[in-house]
Structure 1
Amino acid sequence: MPFEIFKQQFGDLTEYVIHETTTENRCVVIPELGGIVRQLSLRKGLTLFSVLKTPPTPAALVADTKSASELLFPFASRIPDGKYKFLGKEYQLRKNEDGGLNAIHGLVRKNHFHLDEQVIHEDNASIQLSYAIDNAEGYPFQVHFSVRYTLHADGRFELKYEAKNNGQSPCPAMFGWHPYWMLGNEDVEAWKINIPSKRLVTFNENLIPIGTEPFDMAMPALLHRKEFDNCFIVEANGPHAVTELISKNQDVTLRIEQETGEGKFNYLVVYTPPARDCVAIEALTANVDAFNTGEGLNILAPGHGIDGTITVSLT
């Protein structure tokens, strides 16, 4: 078989590698550090591109506060002052954002995930990880969260998350993935971006949503001297929406496809860090602060679940 899965050490961290031997495509996953994908390498023609930017050392990865490649559940982005109301009750989350103003990015990041399954087929290989939330501070619910990473023979990488309410009462749920994307050693100034949206979310000075406004930038847009730190409402003509990063010089396009529709990934964050060497493209199932506004929020009844898929490829 062209696929293999093996373990290796990254400092004190244990990684699991899904490797396709014909193309050298691979993804590297760290269950004990929030189940993150540390590395994703995909081939286009003669070039093997490392497309995820993450901290370069084990210590830097453990200490990272920028959420590189982290899984964000049961909420993503900010909840102001860590407070939210759900079904008439008030809850207080730990204010874990730098500066202590807000709760940010959920409850599973940096935690030790359980390795549920490793599967190798002729045309794909996958790893499934899970983490159980059980009456966490500010989130007194029981939710089983899992993620399956799959590498396909045609070069597609797939992330599928699932969340099931194992408790006795309804619970709010939102998921997002926080990868920083790069294309070789080229910096952001040379790339174009194609954002599948005609409407963006407007924020206050605390980066909390206060409304929406039209987004009418011509696409694809050259990123030279453009800065993004925006949440977009996704526009989809079918069951998926695609964001593209395009490098004309390298003749390669990175495609991030998010499943859309009821309960799926109908929001998108795009952020250009000051170093201008990568772009964060984050598919979200709900708007920022959805725990308070309800915008896109999934409410899981006892025994019920939700899932969604993000697919990454090069063309």
Structure 2
Amino acid sequence: MSPGERRLGAIPLDAHGVTASIDPVGAGLRCLEVNGRALIESYGPGQAARVGVGAPFVAGATLFPWPNRVRDGRWSWAGVEQQLVITEPERATANHGLVRDREFELLSRAPGTVVLGIEVGPDPGFPFALSLMVTYTLLPDGLRTEYAVDNLGSEPAPFALGAHPYLRVGDADADDLVLHIDAGTALDLDDRFLPVGRRPVRGALEDPAGLALAGVDLNHCYGDLAPAPGGGFRHRLLGRDGAGVELRTDDRFGWVQVYTADDFPRAGAAARAVAIEPMTASPDALNSGDDLTTLQPGETWRAAWSLHTVAAPAGSSISTA
């Protein structure tokens, strides 16, 4: 198989009036619509993820065994310094893990669900052996993503995990949307988007009514998330009528990165797009250890997040579809 060649095409899912497309490269969520309304930014066949390259703008990709950036690609474990491959040369970082441009194996599928798997390591700078299983299941109002990580080695293995969906509210422009994230802490980032400190923030990103995204550029990370009723965390992207999409996570995903792209390819033209990236650890967690998971040999770790439509409040008349 030549570089960039892939064995599998995108995998369609269809149930409950919900459709999705799953890309085996990066185990990525490529498209998601509920009754014809888009919940995420999608990319077409001409922009398909390639082995060794990944999806455009890392859209929908699985970020494992670390999300976000590792400073200079260097870190140490048990007194041994490790050097990861630098994948973001302009910032001298190892960014978004090892699997976003690798093709997963198809383990099982049905009309409304698919299971993908991959084994990771030992790799340069990551001398551990882990397996990752990703399950996508359609829901009547969206989609659920589940992860299972196993330590295949004989030593404890550190890791973190994240996802990179660009949320969308039908055909609404990003400048017409409002972001709701209830966080207590924001990380101070340097010019390489690496953490150098932290500061308190008020809930809903400094504004209890949410953050209007018109003219706002974000590449920010938040922690100390406020628990949602029933547990876990919830983040929303809403249109002017109050309708939108909600990202729900379990308690594992205690961090979230928010990124706005100015030139995401939507329908053949550049558009603003909003990534809400749930993460189980902070940026550069291989160095800081902040919420880094250590998995013992033979142990299994599980986590999940999901996307759901949010209906407009009664009486709203402005459409964002």
TM-score, length-normalised on structure 1?
Answer: 0.86
- Deviation track 1:53-81 (CA, whole Å, cap 9, x = no partner) reads 23334346435452111100001111011
- Corresponding letter in the other structure for 2:215: R
Matched, 1:210 2:196: yes
Pick the structure with more strand per residue: 1
Seen in structure 2, the aligned counterparts of structure 1 residues 186 and 59 have a Cα distance that, compared at 3 Å, is: closer
Q: Using the TM superposition, give the Cα deviation of residue 311 of structure 1 relative to its aligned residue in structure 2, in angstroms.
A: 0.9
Tell whether 2:38 aligns with 1:50.
yes
The range that moved more, 130-139 or 72-81, is: 130-139
Structure-1 residue corresponding to 2:249: 258
For 1:93, the equivalent position in structure 2 comes to: 84
Contact conserved, 1:54 with 1:61, CA < 8 A, in 2?
Answer: no
Query: In 2, are the aligned partners of 1:50 and 1:183 still within 8 Å (CA)?
Result: yes
Q: Where in structure 2 are the equivalents of 1:89-238 lying within 5 Å?
A: 89-99=80-90, 101-119=92-110, 125-152=112-139, 154-216=140-202, 217-219=206-208, 220-233=210-223, 234-237=225-228, 238=230
Question: 162-171 or 92-101, which moves further after superposition?
Answer: 92-101
Offset at 1:110?
Answer: 1.7
Contact map agreement 2:151 2:157 (CA 8 A) in 1: yes
1:70 to 49, 61, 71: 61
C-alpha distance 145-105 of structure 1, shift in aligned 2 (>3 A): same
* Distance in 2 of aligned mates of 1:97 and 1:65: 15
* CA distance in 1: counterparts of 2:47 and 2:145, whole angstroms: 25
Query: Retained in 1: the 8 A contact 2:147–2:304?
Result: yes
Once the two structures are overlaid, the 10-residue window that deviates more, 156-165 or 94-103, is 94-103
Instruction: Tell which deviates more after alignment, 93-102 or 165-174.
Output: 93-102
Unaligned runs of 5+ in 1: 1-10
Opposite residue 101 of structure 1, the aligned amino acid is: A
Structure 2 partner of 1:240 = 232
Identity of aligned residues (%): 25
Aligned to 1:8: none
4+ aligned runs moved over 4 Å, structure 1? none
The 3-state SS of whatever aligns with 1:96 is coil
Amino acid at match of 1:218: D
CA contact (8 A) 1:28 1:39 kept: yes
Distance 2:153 2:193 in 1: 32
Provide the secondary structure at the position in 2 that maps to 1:140: coil
8 Å CA contact 1:242–1:256 kept in 2: the answer is: yes
Number of the residue aligned with 1:293: 288
Deviation at 1:196, TM superposition (A): 1.9
Task: Render the CA deviation track for 1:248-294: whole Å, top value 9, x for unaligned.
Answer: 24x5220000111xxx1000001111246321000000000000000
The whole-number CA distance in structure 1 between the counterparts of 2:305 and 2:66 is 17
1:274 maps to which of 262, 266, 275: 262
Shift, 1:98, TM fit: 4.3
Residue 34 of structure 2 aligns to which amino acid in structure 1? L
SS of alignment partner, residue 262 of structure 2 = coil
Query: For 2:220 and 2:125, how far apart are their aligned partners in 1?
Result: 27
2:23 aligned partner: 30
CA contact (8 A) 2:91 2:192 kept: no
Shift of 1:209: 0.8
Q: How much does 1:162 deviate?
A: 1.3
Q: What displacement does 1:227 show? A: 2.2
The gaps in structure 2 that reach 5 residues or longer are 1-5, 264-270, 311-321
Preserved contact between residue 38 and residue 171 of structure 2 (Cα < 8 Å): no
Shift of 1:235: 2.2
Instruction: Give the AA of the match of 1:225.
Output: G
Find the aligned partners of 1:98 and 1:128 in 2 and give their Cα distance: 33
SS of 1:139's equivalent in the other structure is: coil
Following superposition, the deviation at residue 305 of structure 1 comes to 2.2
Q: 1:73 to 1:200 in 2, by over 3 A?
A: same
